[in-house]
Amino acid sequence: MKHLLLVLEPIIWLLFGAGLALGTILLTGFVLIVGLAIPMGLVPMEALDFDRAYALASSWIGRLVLLGLIVLPLWKGAHHVRSLALDFGGVERDGAVGGALYFAAATLSVLGVIAVIRL
C-alpha cells in the first residue's frame, strides 16, 4: 500500500492543492456572505432563495463549481488527517492510514459526482 501511495503522490498533491485553493477562495467568500453580509442586511435574503440556487446549481458551470466544492475539500481533508497521523508517530501505519483516508475520499468523491449529476 505504501508503494501505491508513493506512485499516486503527485495526483494526491494536485487534488490537495486544488482543494486548498478552492477552500480558501470560494468557501471563505461563502462564509462571509452567509455569515456576515446577509445577517447585516448588506445582501438581500432572496439571494439564497431555493429556486435561484437550484437554477444556478443545475447549469453546467454551477454543477462544475458545486462538484469542486464537494470533491476537492475531501481530498484536502484526507491529506491533512494523514499528515496529522504522521506527526503523531504513525510512520509505521502510514500505508494503512493513508490508504483508508484516500479510499474514503475517493468513495465520497464518487458519491458527490453521482449527487451532482442527479441534480
pLDDT at 96: 74
Per-residue pLDDT tens over the stretch 64-91: 888 888 888 888 888 878 878 877 776 6
Domain boundaries, the chain: 2-117
Classify domain 2-117 at the CATH class level.
Answer: mainly alpha
| C-beta of residue 91 within 8 angstroms of C-beta of residue 85 | no
Rounded Cα gap, residues 26 and 71, in angstroms: 13
State the amino acid at position 48 in one-letter form: L
Quick one: 77 exposed, middle or buried, by C-beta within 10 A (0-12, 13-18, 19+)?
middle
What would the grid cell of residue 119 be? 441534480
- Close Cβ partners of 98 (under 8 Å, ≥ 6 residues apart): 1, 2, 5, 82
